[in-house]
Amino acid sequence: MLWGWRERVCNKDVGSCPKSQIFLYNLTTCQQTCRSLSEGETHCLKGFTPVDGCGCPDHTFLDEKGRCVPLAKCSCYHRGLYLEAGDVVLRQEERCVCRNGRLHCTQVKLIGQSCAAPKILVDCNNLTALATREPRPTSCQTLVAGYYHTDCVSGCVCPEGLLDDGRGGCVVEEECPCVHNKDLYSPGDKIKLDCNNTCTCQRGRWQCTQFLCHGTCSIYGSGHYITFDGKHYDFDGHCSYVAVQDYCGQNSSTGSFSIITENVPCGTTGVTCSKAIKIFIGRTELKLEDKRRQVVQLEEGHHVAYTTREVGQYLVVEASSGIIVIWDKKTTIFIKLAPSYKGTVCGLCGNFDDRTSNDFTTRDHMVVSSELDFGNSWKEASTCPDVSTVPDPCSLNPHRRSWAEKQCSIIKSSVFSVCHSKVDPTVFYEACVQDSCSCDTGGDCECFCSAVASYAQECTKAEACVFWRTPDLCPIFCDYYNPPDECEWHYEPCGNRSFETCRTINGIHSNISVSYLEGCYPRCPMDRPIY
């Protein structure tokens, strides 16, 4: 099988795949779809020659709406009916649950069942029972999803003209609630999204504003990356690498900025951490290292104004050209870019074009599937050795695994329960265990605390504030900043949204996505509210 030949020639279709799909070279009639789980291999032709085109990544399935979803989210197909994962239907004395793309049915008997008004009882075994004669949605959720029932469904159902609202009642379509993170919202309710976007519930559907947002790339712990487009991956290289720059493609000689991460080993297991960050903007070089910044004025380049400031636990560098770097003075960096940079950048942070399928684009403009090939292409010095293996610190330090798993279990515990439905804890838990295993030359608690703080930060951005630090667990003591006999500085786990300084009021720097940063903040008196 010849892979990748379209990357340089005849490549018009390579970048045109829908958001969740990727370009593949081995498509057959046996592709994994949610419907195929219910129907088996009825459409699978033996001896079919593979072709190229858009398809789903490994371990995902194509649903009826053309989206690639994990097995657990597959809908079920039965007699022209699509059921969402978890939906339950009663038919012919069977209770069927949609699970992993298949209906799992058990025998039930409708004996003396009664329904609370306004719902009515339908028994499909009774020929005189009210049955669904025309395809129609039975609930607000199936209306929004576009699922229509074509056969009789036994049980308590809403009468003609009304829909199940998911709360046990029946409503007209105009009064359908909306679902967000498994919670129900009434018509007219609003929710906040990133960068001041809001969504309003109307007829069971969210109507959202479309303001363009800054993109964020995160580098944290022992070589963990989240690209601007949301792709998670790990890369442990002992060298300097391009995190992001706009010296890309046709602009490779006319770019305006570059951000370099210097990675060094953190422990003896082969994993690396970001030790320093170099920011090149115009004719200025800023180096963030050892909890402080150094500034070097270069001989070439144009002048770009910038500001630096302390926000909570973080140092924030903000350039007038739409670049913001947020550094925790340890191993975590957030790089934020204005929407004007969409599709014009490259590096370990990806290309910021709202598609994860091409985030692994190398310096030579090749889209690869390997984190190692991708990461190695962005090293700054050719003398650095390529990374050829992916370290497994818990296997090298098996005595640390149980401690790491016990400590990191806080991420999956009830402490963060308010966040679990908004930010998947799995990838952060795995990163925490890896980091806690790898820091075997001192600073193991710092590695653990930084890993948990990374998840807490994502929770805060998702409007799920979590008070997870205690005097015994990764404490932060703000009393150090207080003058004698005063208590002005306090720890804020999710930042201080009302915190204003003379600089923000005078427009010297913005508050774009920095108000959620945890740390020590002053609580100013009413007569002197500005710090």
pLDDT in single tens digits along all 531 residues of the chain: 555 566 656 655 566 677 778 877 767 656 778 888 877 655 565 555 677 778 888 888 888 888 888 888 888 877 667 778 877 776 666 777 888 888 888 766 555 567 888 888 776 665 444 444 455 677 888 787 766 665 566 678 888 888 888 888 899 999 999 988 778 899 999 988 777 789 999 999 999 998 888 899 999 988 899 999 999 999 988 899 999 999 998 777 788 999 999 988 776 666 667 788 999 998 899 999 888 889 998 888 788 999 898 888 899 999 999 999 999 888 899 999 999 999 999 999 999 998 888 999 999 999 999 999 999 999 998 888 999 988 888 888 888 899 999 999 999 999 999 999 889 999 999 999 998 888 766 656 788 999 999 999 999 988 899 999 998 899 988 877 677 777 678 888 988 766 666 656 555 556 665 668 898 888 777 777 665
- The pLDDT of residue 75: 86
Domain boundaries along the sequence of the chain: 1-109, 112-173, 177-211, 215-377, 393-462
Distance (Å) of CA 329 to CA 219, 277, 332: 13, 10, 7
| Neighbouring-strand partners of residue 91 | 94
Spell out the SS3 assignment of 296-310: EECCCCCCCCEEEEE
Contacts with 417 (C-beta within 8 Å, 6 or more apart), sequence order: none
- The pLDDT of residue 508: 56
- The pLDDT of residue 2: 58
- The pLDDT of residue 127: 43
Confidence (pTM): 0.70
For 174-177, the CB contacts below 8 A with 24+ separation are 174/203, 176/140, 176/143, 176/144, 176/203, 176/204, 177/140, 177/201, 177/204
Q: Which of 341, 363, 366, 367 has the alpha carbon at shortest distance from 354?
A: 341
Give the span between the Cα atoms of 11 and 5, in whole angstroms.
Answer: 9
Q: Which of 327, 217, 331, 218 has the alpha carbon at shortest distance from 266?
A: 331
- The pLDDT of residue 243: 96
Spell out the SS3 assignment of 148-170: CECCCCEEEECCCCCEECCCCCE
End-to-end Cα distance, the chain: 64
- The pLDDT of residue 167: 85
- The pLDDT of residue 30: 67
Distance (Å) of CA 132 to CA 156, 501, 515: 13, 63, 53
| Neighbouring-strand partners of residue 522 | 489
